[in-house]
Structure formats: structure tokens, C-alpha cells
């Protein structure tokens, strides 16, 4: 017997004829509720218990005892009870029945009180912690790259602009916006990736990683895209593409194993309620090596698959979600790392192979999800890099600082970017990326 205090929110109350009330209380620390028993002889019983409807908040003091009934191992015998806040049962939106995820998105402020969102957020938290642990154990330095940036290399079209100019009175010179009057005296936006800045620190400190918010104004209303998401971007000096792929594989396995070891209850819940194959899928990931496949071989496989894809497959095309999923889900039934992509479809900073047709790029594709990681060995040759910039319409003058890294003490180096919400989605089996981040930002949706 143990005297404890519990503060939490009532999920349900049931009154028995024998002079007791049973409360199910949850404080968010774990999936399971605590059963609390209130004796009708408790002073103020009548007045207090009728306030204990779903959603109300209580403070309970009592003895934690072994439960005689099945369903729970312990229960709380309440000795003192205080109601912090009631919740009108006529109005409280989270009544007992199951709600759709679409409906819950409309009450993003209350959905953390549901079993699913609670479990998602605990797993998300564990994954964030495990990411830091993984890199810390390997001596990587956690680097904070800027969120506001004036370089718009990759995401020209995808960048959110940042300005303090009055949009009703934009200053102009020669018909064009005069950014010299803007806050930074420059056209600025929200970062689409911390990679380029990450490279500068990798080429001084060896192995670094970033883990921060990333913004893309891409108008893709899919179940795997957010306008604001979190990205993990390790960048390592002296790593070639094979080292990069080794790290990516080790990383994903480590994270999955960590969640299986530390979030057993929540994972059992996902397996039962969300996706009955999720535990098997995750065990399979930990136990088997990832397939590594040349882009050219991936194209062959897709062409031979006998499938009709919406997007035609030929050498030189971008792999679409349907192609990615076929490779990981059907062809290999495990994670696939596709590498050596055609240079024409990849950015300027990826290292050109000797064939001059392909670059040392790699994507990690997962069953059900598709792409979770995109990475590459970076071009470390000054001349080739300048050429590639010109071909891609990137002004070398603007990237003088990036080119300096190849002018002074250049070194082979590599890195990748992992979408954090895609990871949470994959691990929990949740179908929609909007349901694995507290407040999703998507086209036409930022209010809450
Ligand atoms: P996709 O082709 O799936 O749109 P991408 O190739 O544009 O992704 P990268 O630029 O390679 O993405 O970014 C690295 C990783 O960041 C991706 O592998 C993915 O996990 C994640 N990511 C990219 N865009 C988004 C987004 N809009 N929302 C959530 N995660 C994203
Ligand atoms: Mn990519």
C-alpha cells in the first residue's frame, strides 16, 4: 500500500450501486489510465462526483493498492479529492466514442487528450531523444543553422519569404521590389535545408548534425508533406557515399530499436488500433540489411515489374512515390537505398561520378512510406562545382562562401536529410503526416 497523489484528466466515470464511483484518470505519462475508486462515504461525495465528467481535471490523494478486479494491476483508493476544472458534458467535444482523425484535426488543442495523439507524441518525443543520443554517442556535434536565410539555392520556388515591408506599399526601383529597404537589406526567406551551412561546420569540426524546423511552400497536399516540418541533417567530413549509406542504415535501425525497447505499450496500441503489421515491419527493419540498388537497376526493375504506373518509367526520370513504394514494399519487402542518380535531376552540390552522367546521390525508401532520407556525397572539386552551378542556373558569385570551402582545405564529405515527421509516421503506422505533429501547417491551414 502506498500513499500517492495523482493529477490528471478524467476519461470516464462509472457509478456502482454498491456505493462507489470508478474513475479512469489519465495524466499523459503513459497510455494506460489509472482506475480510482471513490467511496460514497467520502465527505462531499454527491456534490463532487457529479462534476467528474469526461474531460474534467482532478487532484486525487489516496492509497495505491493491488486491484482485485481484472483489467488493471493497481488502483487508487481515494482519500481526498479536488476538482480543478469541470468540463460541461453537453459541450466537451471528446466524448467516449471514437473520433475520426479529420475531426480531431479541427480540435488540435484538445486532441492531445486522446489515446492516439498521446501515444504519437510520446513516441515522437522518444525518437527526438534517441536522435540526439545516437549522434552524441558517436561524437557528432549538434549544430544550430539559421532559420532565416538569404540563400535560396535549392528551393527557389518553395521558399516562404520573410519581410517587414508593408505589402500594401512595397517600395520599388525600376518596377522591382527594393529589398535594400527591407529588414535585412536583402531578399530573405525561411530555410528549406540547413545543409549548406552544415557543410561549413563539417569542414572544420568533422561530424555535425542539425535538427530543426524546415519550411517548404510546396503546394503538395499529400499525406507525406507539411509546409513546416523538422529535419535531421548530419554532415560528415571524410565520408564517401558508402559511408553515408552505412550511417543512414545504422541510424534508422537504431531509432526503430530504441522505440521498440522503450515505448512497448504505445507500440502495442499502434499495432492493435492503427496498423496490425507495424510491429512485424519494425522488427524486420532491425533484423535485415537494407537493399542497395543502383538507380539504373531500379529503373530496370520497375520496367520489368509488369505494373502500370501513373508516371512512366525510363532512365532519367524522377522516382515518384508509387515507384518508391513498389521497390520497398513489393520488390524487396524491406528498406531500399537507391543511389547514383542521373545528374540532370539532382542539385548542383552532389558529387559527379566519373561517368559524368550520374551523381553520388542516395535516397532511402521505406515500405508504405517511400522516401524518408535524401542524401549525397558533396562535390569537393572547385572547377566541377562551378561548372555544375552554371549548368543549373545557380550564380557562383552568390555562393562565394560555399565555394571557399573548396578553395581552402577541401575534403571529401557527405550528408543526408531525414524528415522527422516521416520517421514518426513510419514508426507509428499513422497514415497522415498531419497527425504526427502537434499543429500541422499545410496549404490554407496555419491558424491552429
Ligand atoms: P519528396 O520527393 O518526398 O517531396 P524531397 O526529395 O523534396 O522529398 P529532400 O529535399 O530530399 O526531400 O528532403 C530530405 C527529407 O526531408 C525527405 O527525404 C523527407 O523525409 C523530408 N521532407 C521533404 N519535404 C518534406 C515535406 N514537405 N514535409 C515533410 N517532410 C519532408
Ligand atoms: Mn529527396
Stretch 251-270: mean pLDDT: 98
The answer on pLDDT for 119 being more than 60 is: yes
Strands (E), 238-332: 291-294
CB of 229 closer than 6 angstroms to any ligand 1 atom: yes
What CATH superfamily is the domain 112-156+192-435? Answer: Bira Bifunctional Protein; Domain 2 (3.30.930.10)
Pocket test for ligand 1, best of 219, 419, 445 (most atoms within 8 A of CB): 419
The answer on pLDDT for 153 being more than 60 is: no
Stretch 64-86: mean pLDDT: 92
Which atom of ligand 1 lies nearest, measured to the CA of 226? 28
| Shortest-distance ligand to the CA of residue 370 | 1
Closest CA to 367 of 325, 402, 318: 325
pLDDT reported for residue 129: 98
Calculate the average pLDDT of the chain.
Answer: 95
CB of 8 closer than 6 angstroms to any ligand 1 atom: no
State phi, psi for 286 to the nearest 5 degrees.
Answer: -65, -35
95 confidence band (pLDDT: 50, 70, 90): confident
CB of 235 closer than 6 angstroms to any ligand 1 atom: no
CA of 305 to the centre of ligand 2 (A): 23
pLDDT reported for residue 289: 97
CA of 381 to the centre of ligand 1 (A): 27
pLDDT reported for residue 319: 96
Pocket test for ligand 1, best of 210, 373, 374, 436 (most atoms within 8 A of CB): 374
pTM of the model: 0.96
CA of 202 to the centre of ligand 2 (A): 21
CB of 373 closer than 6 angstroms to any ligand 1 atom: yes
- The C-alpha angle 114, 448, 52, rounded to 5 degrees, equals 35
Could you give the C-alpha distances from 188 to 149, 199, 233, 327, in angstroms and in order?
A: 6, 20, 22, 39
pLDDT reported for residue 1: 64
CA of 384 to the centre of ligand 2 (A): 22
Pocket test for ligand 1, best of 223, 417, 443 (most atoms within 8 A of CB): 417
The dotted CATH code for 4-96 is 2.40.50.140
CA of 383 to the centre of ligand 1 (A): 29
Q: Output 78-84 pairs: Cβ under 8 A, ≥24 positions apart.
A: 78/23, 78/36, 78/37, 78/38, 78/39, 78/42, 79/42, 81/38, 81/42, 81/44, 81/48, 82/58, 83/48, 83/51, 83/52, 83/56, 83/57, 83/58, 83/59, 84/7, 84/56, 84/57, 84/58, 84/59
The DSSP line for 34-97 is: EEEEEETTSTTHHHHHTT--TT-EEEEEEEEEE-SSTT-SEEEEEEEEEEEE---TTT-S--SS
What 3-state DSSP class applies to 149? Answer: strand
Residue extents of the structural domains in the chain = 4-96, 112-156+192-435
The closest residue, in CA terms, to atom 18 on ligand 1 is 373
pLDDT tens column, 207-238: 999 999 999 998 888 999 999 999 999 999 99
Amino acid at each position: 500500500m502506498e500513499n500517492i497523489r495523482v493529477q490528471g484528466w478524467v476519461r470516464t466515470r462509472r457509478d456502482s450501486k454498491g456505493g462507489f464511483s470508478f474513475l479512469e484518470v489519465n495524466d499523459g505519462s503513459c497510455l494506460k489510465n489509472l482506475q480510482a475508486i471513490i467511496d460514497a462515504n467520502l465527505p462531499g461525495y454527491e456534490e463532487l462526483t457529479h462534476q467528474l465528467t469526461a474531460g474534467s481535471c482532478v487532484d486525487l490523494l489516496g492509497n495505491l493498492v493491488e486491484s482485485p478486479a481484472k483489467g488493471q494491476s493497481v488502483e487508487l483508493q481515494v482519500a481526498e479529492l479536488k476538482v480543478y476544472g469541470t468540463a460541461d458534458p453537453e459541450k466537451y467535444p471528446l466524448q467516449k466514442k471514437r473520433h475520426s482523425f479529420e475531426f480531431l484535426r479541427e480540435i488540435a488543442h484538445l486532441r492531445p487528450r486522446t489515446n492516439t495523439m498521446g501515444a504519437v507524441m510520446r513516441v515522437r518525443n522518444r525518437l527526438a531523444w534517441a536522435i540526439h543520443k545516437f549522434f552524441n554517442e558517436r561524437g557528432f556535434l549538434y549544430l544550430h543553422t539559421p532559420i532565416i536565410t538569404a540563400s535560396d539555392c535549392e528551393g527557389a520556388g518553395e521558399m516562404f519569404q520573410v519581410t517587414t515591408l508593408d505589402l500594401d506599399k512595397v517600395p520599388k526601383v525600376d518596377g522591382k521590389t527594393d529589398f535594400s529597404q527591407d529588414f535585412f537589406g536583402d531578399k530573405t526567406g525561411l530555410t528549406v535545408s540547413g545543409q549548406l551551412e552544415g557543410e561549413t561546420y563539417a569542414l572544420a569540426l568533422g561530424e555535425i548534425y542539425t535538427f530543426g524546423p524546415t519550411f517548404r511552400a510546396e503546394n503538395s497536399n499529400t499525406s507525406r508533406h507539411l509546409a513546416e516540418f523538422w529535419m535531421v541533417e548530419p554532415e560528415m567530413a571524410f565520408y564517401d557515399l558508402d559511408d553515408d549509406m552505412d550511417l543512414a542504415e545504422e541510424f534508422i535501425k537504431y531509432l526503430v530499436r530504441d522505440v521498440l525497447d522503450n515505448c512497448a505499450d504505445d507500440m502495442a496500441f499502434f499495432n492493435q488500433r492503427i496498423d496490425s503489421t507495424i510491429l512485424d515491419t519494425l522488427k524486420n527493419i532491425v533484423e535485415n540489411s537494407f537493399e542497395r540498388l543502383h538507380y539504373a537497376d531500379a529503373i530496370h526493375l520497375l520496367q520489368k515489374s509488369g505494373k502500370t504506373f501513373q508516371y512512366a518509367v525510363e532512365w532519367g526520370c524522377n522516382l515518384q512515390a508509387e515507384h518508391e513504394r513498389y521497390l520497398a514494399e513489393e520488390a524487396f519487402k524491406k528498406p531500399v537505398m537507391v543511389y547514383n542518380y542521373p545528374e540532370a535531376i539532382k542539385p548542383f552540390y552532389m558529387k559527379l561520378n566519373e561517368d559524368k552522367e550520374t551523381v553520388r546521390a542516395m535516397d532511402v525508401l521505406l515500405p508504405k512510406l517511400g522516401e524518408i532520407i535524401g542524401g549525397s556525397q558533396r562535390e569537393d572539386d572547385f572547377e566541377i562545382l562551378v561548372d555544375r552551378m552554371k549548368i543549373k542556373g545557380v550564380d557562383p558569385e552568390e555562393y562565394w562562401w560555399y565555394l571557399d570551402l573548396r578553395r581552402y582545405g577541401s575534403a571529401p564529405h557527405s550528408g543526408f536529410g531525414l524528415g522527422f515527421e516521416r520517421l514518426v509516421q513510419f514508426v507509428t503506422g499513422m497514415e497522415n503526416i498531419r497527425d504526427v505533429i502537434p499543429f500541422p501547417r499545410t496549404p490554407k491551414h496555419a491558424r491552429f
